[in-house]
Amino acid sequence: MRFASRKTITLGIVATFGLFSASAFAVDHPVQVGVVVNGGFTFSPSTLSIAAGDTVTWTSAGGSAPHNVRSDAGSVTNFRCANGCDGAGGNGTPSAAAWTATVAFPTPGTIPFYCEIHGGPGGVGMSGSISVTTPVDLQSFDVD
C-alpha cells in the first residue's frame, strides 16, 4: 500500500516579499528633490523601479531655488506636483518652500519626470524616470 503525502509548494523565493500583490503590499518610495550634485540640482534617486500600485513621495527641503516635479507628456501616469499636485489639492507650481507630494502609479510603463525650472522633458537637466512593473503573484500547486 502506497501512502501519498500531499504538500503544497509555493513558487517564488521568500526574498521577494515586496512583490506579492499591488493592492495588499503597496510600497512608498521616497525621492529627495533639489539635491545638489556636482554643482547642479537633481532628484535622489533619479531612477526607480516600482510595482504597479506603489506610490512615490517627493520631498523638497525648501531653499532659495524653486522646484517641482512633472511627468513627461503622454506618460501612462501624469502629474505636476510641488505644494500638492495639480488636481489633487494643489497646482504643482514650482516652489522654494518645503513641500511633499505623493503620487500613486497604478499602471505599468515608464514615466519620465523633471523639474520645470531646472530640467525638461526627455531627460534634460534635473530629471528622472520611474519604471512601473506588473507585480509578481506567487502561485502554488500540489505535489503528490
Q: What is the pLDDT of residues 54-98, one digit of tens each?
A: 999 999 999 889 999 999 999 999 999 998 898 887 889 999 999
Q: Strand pairing of 28-37 and 40-44?
A: antiparallel
The pLDDT of residue 136 is 73
Residue 14 has pLDDT above 90, yes or no: no
* Sheet strands (E) in 25-108: 28-37, 40-44, 47-51, 55-60, 69-71, 80-82, 84-86, 89-90, 99-104
pTM: 0.78
Domains, the chain: 7-138 (2.60.40.420)
123 torsion bin: left (phi>0), alpha (psi -120 to 50), beta (else): left
Sign of CA dihedral 14, 19, 21, 24: positive
The pLDDT of residue 142 is 77
Q: What is the mean pLDDT of the segment spanning 38-46? A: 94
Tell me the three state secondary structure of residue 96. Answer: coil
